[in-house]
Amino acid sequence: MDKTNEKRGKAILRSAAKPSQEIQGRLLHFLMRRYKKDFTLQWEQDIDMTDGFVLQAGSDVYDWSIEGRLRQFKDRLEQLHPANREIIPLIKETVNNWIPEVMPEEMGEVISVGDEIATVSGLEHAAYGEILLFSSGVKGMVQDLKEGEIGCILFGDEEEIVEGSIVRRTGKTAGIPVGEEFLGRVINALGEPIDGKGEIQASEYRPIEAPAPSIIERQPVDTPMETGLLAIDSMFPIGRGQRELIIGDRQTGKTAIALDTILNQKGKNVICIYVAIGQKASSVAQLVETLQQNDALEYSIIVSASASDAATLQYIAPYAGTALGEYFMYKGKDVLIVYDDLSKHAIAYRAISLLLERSPGREAFPGDVFYLHSRLLERSAHLSDEMGGGSMTALPIVETQAGDVSAYIPTNIISITDGQIFLESDLFFSGQRPAVNVGLSVSRVGGDAQTKAMKKASGGLRLDLAQYREMEVFTQFSSDLDELTKRQLVYGQGLMRLLRQPQYHPMRQHEQVILLTVALRHLMQDVPLEKIDQFCNDLLAYIENNSATLCYQIDQTGKLSEEDQDAIVQMTKKYQADLKLKEDLAGKDNG
């Protein structure tokens, strides 16, 4: 065999008519300059190609057909501004006379397809996370790089893709449209509206994967993100820019805490994003209805990748939601994002990884499952003033099995986040809701994210509850209790009752401060357990009527002086005296 031919490359020229010897010579000269080696040129007739030609050298394709020039022109316009897509049909005539740059377009071929995964050969320079375009119009994202082939997850109907289909590189990473008009809408993981309210005009596009802000670009977390839940705001405060994990078994009120936190942001200029991963469509519809009834949908965005959606959409949903949040954060706004839940997200990623034939590790999860969530949650931050001072607060939710917080995914996310709120099944079913386990829950930001009023009012609440829990265990083995121990038990039971709160009823700051001040000064000591809820509601109404200025001051300034505390105590004692007088009079009348 001629060794010279072995070193030569092979090029294929497709056109409607056979080119002249002069044109073939010019093309061979171009390939020689481009690749620094000789080529043999093979012509193939393509009668569908009305004008121009396509030259293929290895995996590189030079498309000088009308369709190829139109596609390049369209891509260039979209890079300048997404809205330019609307004028594409008006400029086809101009394209006929437009000469594109001499640059190759890398093309590949589908080897196999199935289970929302396509294996592609020929794309030697494709990058991880890059979007590929299949000949049917379906898009995919590169997720696995091997020698000679790549694995690609699909964002469309795999039935439209067959073995041998042509695949093109786009040179772009996955992105999502973002903008102010997304507020109040329900969208899927690709940014498309699914609420039946029409199209959404995007302001810009953001990549769903982006680097987290650097240390220099951040500032300390020191501004409260109030949940409106007394049990959390008093003992496990959350700050703007923090990542606080909500963890617990199934049906223990995890979503309820996140939803109450969203409702509590009404009027506080906080944009809320709820990412539903693997949820039932009916559950998402019910959540949207709840937000609408409480006038909270107008400042919220719902990103839904339901249980019936492909694993690929469930995988990218939280990243898409974070990209939306970053759009507002970098504009100097405060954002609250809820990931419900990351357990299902990890399961979707595990399914994709196993289909891509990656080696399974612990609990069959791939080795990079920690990085899966760390690169997501690290994007939440409180930006420095130079960066606009915006913030994104993350509330990831994780489901445990039988309270096992030492499982793989829970331990991973606990190590990434700045604290966790642990919800306990036993507390939930005993009627203690929210079922927050005070012993296992923690906030690593602590008092920095509390107002001075809340810090002063909550005082030794955690210590008192810890003493009560210890005493409660001890008294199970003893029937003979002294009077002091009995009073301590009654006090602890009263505190636990105080921390119960109905769903969709978040408390304002002044309500929390007043109740904590009254409770920790033992002024509720003699109120029967079954009457504590009514007592609290009536007391708050009484103080709001008689000292509206004090309530307003606590809400606006977040401060509580000794004089204010004394005023709350005096008003409570007066209310109790008036209440006792009424009860005495009622007793006499009945007698």
Sheet strands (E) in 355-451: 391-399, 419-423, 442-443
Q: Which residues contact 320 (CB under 8 A, 6 or more apart)?
A: 176, 189, 190, 191, 208, 275, 303
The rounded distance, in Å, linking the Cα atoms of 366 and 573 is 61
Residue 383, amino acid: L
* Chain position carrying tokens 């009860």: 583
Helix (H) or strand (E) holding 153, with range, is strand 149-154
Q: Where are the alpha helices (DSSP H) in 237-368?
A: 254-263, 281-293, 311-329, 342-355
Check if the beta carbon of residue 373 is closer than 8 Å to that of residue 346: yes
| Cα–Cα separations (whole angstroms), residue 64 to 40, 48, 54, 55, 249 | 20, 14, 6, 8, 60
Say whether the peptide bond before residue 434 is cis (omega within 30 degrees of 0). yes
Residue 88, amino acid: I
Residue 244, amino acid: E
What sign has the CA pseudo-torsion 199, 205, 211, 217?
negative
User: Which burial class, exposed, middle or buried, applies to 215 when counting CB atoms under 10 A from its CB (0-12, 13-18, 19+)?
Assistant: exposed
H helix and E strand count, the chain: 19, 20
Pick the catalytic residue from 34, 218, 375, 444: 444
Say whether the peptide bond before residue 426 is cis (omega within 30 degrees of 0). no
Q: What angle do CA 172, 173, 179 make, to 5 degrees?
A: 100
- 240 catalytic residue (yes or no): no
Residues known to be catalytic = 444
